[in-house]
């Protein structure tokens, strides 16, 4: 067992003040005056109270809630009818066509093995023992990340600006996902609640939650997921200043001011090489349930530094150039040709300068009318990393630890519990009672003795080395399954915790 208290004390003393005096940092930096953060006088914005809307907003929300109720009240669905295409267009299937009839391709499987497992042969090599199931190569399970919650309509004039200030996810896996599978996600429940403070706020805040099940083309239930999302909107008081087409612009908390850019030194690279050298993949050697103890810590893994070769605002995955950094740095021949970028990250010369991004804002997803507004997103050029990236890195670390005989039964994560610039009087926090039942393991870091009182209040950003850590919090037998619960967290090289979560894994028993 690793001495967690000692390791974290040394980490904090040697890298930054992020883990020392954290409450003082929070009090200072999370309570900026609202007008200063927004860069405009408060009376320029509408003032809201919960569940009080003008006629147009009420019309939009009535239609939105009716859509959600069509899911909640639909009743049972025969998955065979779904697979055979007899229920196409029925509301509970999915509002998002990219989530329905999703084909797991060879490229999907290869990319996820590269990005999050350092090409663990269990997922990267079809000839490796145990790497096939049902005649096909198994995929890293988080090739599927369910987003079962709804999202507020983006083109109906609810707000000029929207900010996401919390995202919680959990997903359970029942059967292997295989190369060549077609996955069908059926929404089971979707809800939206107005949590705008009763005292009023210049932000109208909604909590959206939901849960869904995913089946493969054979009708097998492969996964179930739940999510909860917090979206807040604000709008100019003067209609003449509002977005004329009704769409809103993306507003971002000021993650950049909160966490200055870390410049990697030669000493940092020595530490990174040591992290990589200590990683251990158990592989075919079983980890037996009886040999695990509460307080055990898997060996950390380090992915990145995660950087992009194109200008972007949000990164949804780990680019090939980022996973190549490890191999190139550890190879004397290629390392001799590498150069440091302005952040001190070693790259090949062709990646020293970024290429322009083909679209204005990658974080807009499929709504190209959502654009970044530079006066609100105080960026220094570092893109944010999408919430699932750290969760997938953590899952890769857990597979190293539990080996081929283990099974990732459940995993979940929490990001942005306290975004900078939005005190609770302006945008309230999500509480446990708002969460779907699948969030029974929340909260997370409180279960790790040395981390009690800490939260992942920072956001992962481009340039971060994502270091995945975990701590065994419980072990038990349920039916015939031998299960272990872990809390995991992602930290940066300079000591900031950027995401936290839990996992339940199934291990073989000796008896």
pLDDT digits (tens, 9 = 90+) for 424-479: 899 999 988 888 889 999 999 999 999 988 988 999 999 999 999 999 999 999 99
Predicted pLDDT of residue 397: 96
Query: 120 near 399, Cβ under 8 Å?
Result: yes
Pairing of strands 314-315, 221-234: unpaired
Say how far apart CA 319 and CA 357 lie, in whole Å: 14
Say how far apart CA 102 and CA 183 lie, in whole Å: 5
Pairing of strands 339-340, 314-315: unpaired
| DSSP 8-state assignment for residue 174 | -
DSSP 10-70: HHHHHH-STTSSHHHHHHHHS---HHHHHTS-GGGB--B-TT---HHHHHHHHHHHHHHHH
Tell me the CA end-to-end span of the chain in Å, nearest whole number.
24
Query: 321 near 309, Cβ under 8 Å?
Result: yes
What is the number of other CB atoms lying within 10 angstroms of the CB of residue 410? 21
Predicted pLDDT of residue 52: 94
Treating both helix axes as pointing N-terminal to C-terminal, what angle do 388-402 and 106-117 enclose, rounded to 10 degrees?
80
Predicted pLDDT of residue 487: 97
Say how far apart CA 199 and CA 286 lie, in whole Å: 56
Query: 222 near 427, Cβ under 8 Å?
Result: no
Cis peptide before 261 (omega within 30 of 0): no
Predicted pLDDT of residue 358: 62
Alpha helices in 252-369 (DSSP H): 255-258, 266-278, 320-330, 332-335
Say how far apart CA 427 and CA 422 lie, in whole Å: 6
The partner residues of 236 in beta bridges, in order of sequence, read 45
Residue that is written with structure tokens 């009886």 in the block = 290
| DSSP 8-state assignment for residue 383 | P
Q: Output the CA–CA distances (angstroms, integers) from residue 366 to 97, 153, 291, in the order listed.
A: 11, 13, 47
- The residue ranges of DSSP E strands in 364-422, in sequence order, are 384-385, 407-415
Q: Output the CA–CA distances (angstroms, integers) from residue 192 to 146, 152, 289, 437, in the order listed.
A: 18, 9, 41, 16
Say how far apart CA 28 and CA 76 lie, in whole Å: 51
Q: Which residues contact 85 (CB under 8 A, 6 or more apart)?
A: none
For the record, the structure tokens of 144 come out as 């599927």
| Calculated CA dihedral for residues 449, 452, 457, 459, nearest 10 degrees | 0
Predicted pLDDT of residue 473: 97
User: For the whole model, what pTM was predicted?
Assistant: 0.86
Predicted pLDDT of residue 29: 28
Pairing of strands 314-315, 384-385: parallel
For the record, the structure tokens of 330 come out as 């550890």
Low-confidence ranges of the chain (pLDDT < 50): 1-40, 96-98, 361-376
Say how far apart CA 460 and CA 474 lie, in whole Å: 28
Q: Which residues contact 68 (CB under 8 A, 6 or more apart)?
A: 150, 190, 191, 192
Predicted pLDDT of residue 250: 78
């Amino acid at each position: 067992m690793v001495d967690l208290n000692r390791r974290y004390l040394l980490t904090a003393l040697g890298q930054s003040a992020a883990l020392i005096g954290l409450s003082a940092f929070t009090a200072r930096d999370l309570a900026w005056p609202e007008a200063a953060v927004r860069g405009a006088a408060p009376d320029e914005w509408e003032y809201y109270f919960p569940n009080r809307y003008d006629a147009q907003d009420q019309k939009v929300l009535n239609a939105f809630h009716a859509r959600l109720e069509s899911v909640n009240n639909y009743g049972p669905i025969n998955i065979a009818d779904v697979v055979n295409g007899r229920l196409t267009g029925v509301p509970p299937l999915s509002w998002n066509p990219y989530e329905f009839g999703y084909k797991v391709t060879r490229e999907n499987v290869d990319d996820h093995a590269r990005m999050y497992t350092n090409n663990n042969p269990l997922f990267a090599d079809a000839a490796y023992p145990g790497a096939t199931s049902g005649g096909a190569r198994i995929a890293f399970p988080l090739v599927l990340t369910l987003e079962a919650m709804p999202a507020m309509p983006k083109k109906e004039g609810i707000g000029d600006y929207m900010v996401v200030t919390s995202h919680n996810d959990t997903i359970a896996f029942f059967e292997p996902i295989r190369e060549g599978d077609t996955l069908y996600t059926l929404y089971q429940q979707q809800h939206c609640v107005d949590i705008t403070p009763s005292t009023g706020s210049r932000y109208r805040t909604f909590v959206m939650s939901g849960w869904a099940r995913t089946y493969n083309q054979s009708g097998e239930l492969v996964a179930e997921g739940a999510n909860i999302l917090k979206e807040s909107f604000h709008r100019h008081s003067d209609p003449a200043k509002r977005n004329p087409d009704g769409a809103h612009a993306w507003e971002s908390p000021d993650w950049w001011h909160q966490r200055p850019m870390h410049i990697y030194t030669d000493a940092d690279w020595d530490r990174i090489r040591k992290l990589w050298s200590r990683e251990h993949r158990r592989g075919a050697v079983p980890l037996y349930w009886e040999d695990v103890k509460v307080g055990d810590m898997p060996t950390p893994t380090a992915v990145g530094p995660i950087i992009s070769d194109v200008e972007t605002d949000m990164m949804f995955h780990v680019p090939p150039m980022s996973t190549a950094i490890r191999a190139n740095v550890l190879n004397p021949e290629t390392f001799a040709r590498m150069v440091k970028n302005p952040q001190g990250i070693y790259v090949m010369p062709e990646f020293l300068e970024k290429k322009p991004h083909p679209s204005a804002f990658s974080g807009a997803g499929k709504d190209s009318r959502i654009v970044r507004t530079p006066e609100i997103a105080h960026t220094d050029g570092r893109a944010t990393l999408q919430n699932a990236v750290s969760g997938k890195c953590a899952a890769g670390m857990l597979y190293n630890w539990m080996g081929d005989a283990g099974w990732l039964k459940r995993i979940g994560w929490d990001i942005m519990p306290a975004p900078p610039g939005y005190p609770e009087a302006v945008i309230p926090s999500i509480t446990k009672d708002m969460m779907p039942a699948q969030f029974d393991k929340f909260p997370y870091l409180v279960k790790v003795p040395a981390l009690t009182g800490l939260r992942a209040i920072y956001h992962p950003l481009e340039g971060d080395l994502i270091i995945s850590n975990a701590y065994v919090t419980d072990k038990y037998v349920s039916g015939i399954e031998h299960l272990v619960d872990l809390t995991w967290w992602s930290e940066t090289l300079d000591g900031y915790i950027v995401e936290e979560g839990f996992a339940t894994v199934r291990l073989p028993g000796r008896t």
